[in-house]
Amino acid sequence: MTRIEYDPAHKVWLFTTPNTSYAVHLTAEEEVAHLHWGAPIHLSDAIHLADTAIPTRRRTAETPLDGTEEYPVEGGLRYGRPALSVRFGDEVRGIEWHLDGSEILTEGNASELWLRFHDRVYPLEITLHYRVYEDSDVLERWVEITHRGAGTVGDTSASADDLQGSVDILTAHSAAWVIPFRDDYRLSHLHGHWGGETRLERVPLSPASSFTIGSRTGVTGHFTNPWFAVDDATAAEEQGEVWSGALAWSGTWQLVAQRFANGRAQVVGGFGHDGFATWLLRPGETLTTPVFAGLYSAHGFGAASREWHTYQLRHVLPNAGELRPVLYNSWEATHFDIDEHNQKAIARVAADLGVELFVMDDGWFGQRVDDRAGLGDWQPNPKRFPNGLTPLVDEVHRLGMRFGIWVEPEMVNPDSDLYREHPDWVYHYPTRARSESRNQLVLNVARPDVAAWMYDWLDELLGKHGIDYVKWDMNRPISQPGWPGEPDNPGRVWIEHVRNVYDILDRLRRAHPGVAFESCAGGGGRVDLGILARTDMVWTSDNTDAYDRLAIQDGFTQVYAPRVMSAWVTDSPNSMNRRTYSVRYRFHSAMAGLLGLGGNLLEWSPEELAEARELVAAYKRIRPVVQHGLLHRLLPPEHEELTAVEYVARDGSEAVVLAFAHARRFGADSPPLRLRGLDLSGHYRDAESGRVGSGAVLTHHGLSLPLRGDLDSCLIHLLRED
């Protein structure tokens, strides 16, 4: 089936996905106008919209262009947020473009459209890219901006130097998403802070207003996440139209949702942030923006989430088909007091519980006895590991586990050999103090020599020690983003830092294909589609409180798949809120994603260890469904009494329910929990009790839950009988 159709007479392009359509049109004024994003339509319908849907022009500050363009550039009668803003050498701003041509390409199950424009006077080329897949409703968009070297078009008074000189790219967003006319608009986004990331918030979009989220920290960020969803304020988990988007970028970014006075709504977004030039584009150079993916769902937020998850499993994640192992991480057990002896002791207990991956955290290198020294000196501490890492790695492998290690490659302590040798390698301004956070500075990874050094020591570490897994951390954001010696392109650091991190990860994966990578940034500070294309999982939050995690995980799964959501079982009472939980409750909370253990197992009682062993085995039985199935959020964390999630195998053969009681009230029993996604004509057997129920009864009447008391939980595994 042709996924992109074109009518040259009307200059209309129609994108068709399994359940949606998207249409654009080139107007007589060579503006790329949006026509449709929603339920399936035919090319003839899109042509009809092109003939009737574009408003007539008026002489007013409220122009028909507001909220109608696919990629609004600065210039002309445009008053909304531009997706592209440039300044030429003669201080002229704005773009007047002309279509050079279009091309439709197909490779595998992907189809791509290029729309290539050039400015009528200046040597600037802009190419709009669209990509759709045969097996996904997600549409990917991005832009290439090229300096063609000299102006050759039009009658201009600009000098040759103006036409050949560099172009300031002030804003270069990846896409503008037009939301169809509705009576009202509501924006959903994720917000939070360290220890409370990815919490869901829904806010109204008021008329003639804008709402901005983003990060100015050089990393994706704890406070917000580059995802949005817009509905007409009536959509729910399993009903209503939802338009959503996610940016594949792990640095500074911005999304702006606008509701214009003419009633239209639009979301524009990409890398960069206000106050800093994005890029200085020199002759012959091309700036490529990150992918900004969009998705329409006709069946609520839940269906949108499941489609995002499926898209990530099929088109984003490396090795997505693999089951992620149960891991143990030593941080909360030993902190910086780490050595070969205590790591081996914990590893033996972890292996006995059924753990498959043992990860040694911070404190193994240089003079790293606390957080004040050692970052940058990536050699094993000889006092703690007198024979290097090999004896520990070999012991972990002998126990039947893979071996993982923690690193923080982008950071350096002032108290380190690296910093004493290369104080110029950190971001700084010569006339300003170097601000430390967590006693560390940020290496200027935008510098080619720093990036080369970083790759070399990581490549040696992985190749020399038989390491199977890397937890890549980043515990502080960028500050004082100065680069002495690079005065002409100050905005370069915001983009080149991320690009070089991506490049290093890509090269390491090619050089060490058996090594898995986890993204971490002081918790969930680096979670986005860009980093997910290069890592196998992400650390969701430093907050391992089992109850808090329910809200964090609920927001996380609005867009990101459970297959990448790392969660640990830690000690009780938990260090975050000092709440006490049962072993079962802690495990059930962590089983909602990728199960990990992080407590001090040497201090767990025999009874706790025995229960943990059983729960690890239970997770292994259900993880194919949790990691690769379809998620249904049955009851949200803010529900008065219960939170519940359900995972259904894609072939319908089994389902998993995790339910959590909050505080019991007035002695009432919990009502039956109505399930979703089951075959109404099928029958399902409870793997533990043996009871059998029909899909119709479980869906329309519900499942009785064995919950008793406050902070109780249960796991129910249903197997289809026929």
pLDDT tens column, 403-434: 999 999 999 999 999 999 999 999 999 999 99
Q: Mean of the per-residue pLDDT values for the chain?
A: 94
Q: Are 125 and 112 in contact (CB under 8 A)?
A: no
Same domain membership, residue 332 and residue 282: no
Adjacency order of strands within the sheet including 167-172: 84-87, 167-172, 279-281
CATH code of the domain containing 602: 3.20.20.70
Q: What are phi and psi of 306, to 5 degrees?
A: -60, -35
Q: Is residue 554 part of a domain?
A: no
Measured CA to CA, the distance from residue 468 to residue 217 in angstroms comes to: 30
Same domain membership, residue 486 and residue 416: yes
Same domain membership, residue 604 and residue 457: yes
**Residue 160: pLDDT over 70:** no
81 labelled binding-site residue:
no
Parallel, antiparallel, or unpaired: how do β-strands 186-191 and 139-147 relate?
unpaired
Same domain membership, residue 116 and residue 51: yes
438 labelled binding-site residue:
yes
362 labelled binding-site residue:
yes
542 labelled binding-site residue:
yes
669 labelled binding-site residue:
no
The boundaries of the domain holding residue 691 are 634-720
| Burial per residue of 639-671, b for 16 or more beta-carbon CB atoms within 10 angstroms, e otherwise | eeebbbbbbbbeebbbbbbbbbbbebeeeeebe
7 labelled binding-site residue:
no
Determine the average pLDDT of the residues in 429-457: 96
161 labelled binding-site residue:
no
Q: Is residue 556 part of a domain?
A: no
Parallel, antiparallel, or unpaired: how do β-strands 594-597 and 327-329 relate?
parallel
- pLDDT, tens digit (0-9, with 9 covering 90-100), for 219-236: 999 999 999 999 999 999
Class of residue 58 by CB neighbours under 10 A (exposed 0-12, middle 13-18, buried 19+): exposed
Closest of 196, 177, 390 to residue 265, by C-alpha: 177
381 labelled binding-site residue:
no
Closest of 657, 635, 658 to residue 719, by C-alpha: 657
Those residues whose C-beta lies under 8 Å from the C-beta of residue 666, and which sit 6 or more positions away, are none
Final residue belonging to a domain, choices 315, 344, 373: 315
243 labelled binding-site residue:
no
Same domain membership, residue 638 and residue 607: no
pLDDT band at 712 (very low <50, low <70, confident <90, very high): very high
Same domain membership, residue 644 and residue 617: no
Q: Which residues have a catalytic role annotated?
A: 473, 542
User: pTM of the entire structure?
Assistant: 0.96
19 labelled binding-site residue:
no
Beta-carbon-side half-sphere exposure of residue 56 (alpha carbons within 13 Å): 2
CATH code of the domain containing 264: 2.70.98.60
CATH code of the domain containing 638: 2.60.40.1180
pLDDT > 70: percent of the chain: 96
pLDDT band at 640 (very low <50, low <70, confident <90, very high): confident
Same domain membership, residue 409 and residue 296: no
- pLDDT, tens digit (0-9, with 9 covering 90-100), for 458-508: 999 999 999 999 999 999 999 999 999 887 787 789 999 999 999 999 999
Measured CA to CA, the distance from residue 244 to residue 404 in angstroms comes to: 36
Helices (H) and strands (E) in the chain, counts: 14, 37
Measured CA to CA, the distance from residue 270 to residue 248 in angstroms comes to: 9
Structure tokens at 493: 């650091």
SS3 state at 175: strand
pLDDT band at 55 (very low <50, low <70, confident <90, very high): low
714 labelled binding-site residue:
no
Adjacency order of strands within the sheet including 175-179: 175-179, 265-271, 253-259, 209-215
- Count of CB atoms within 10 A of residue 100's CB? 13
Structural domain count of the chain: 3
Residue with tokens 């009737």, as numbered in its chain: 52
CA distance to 258, 544, 551, per residue, from 540 (Å): 30, 9, 12
Residue with tokens 């409703």, as numbered in its chain: 137
Parallel, antiparallel, or unpaired: how do β-strands 327-329 and 357-360 relate?
parallel
Q: What is the dihedral of CA 437, 441, 447, 448, to 10 degrees?
A: -110
Which residues are bridge partners to 359 per DSSP?
329, 404
Radius of gyration of the chain measured on its C-alpha atoms = 27
Final residue belonging to a domain, choices 259, 290, 315: 315
Q: Are 175 and 292 in contact (CB under 8 A)?
A: yes
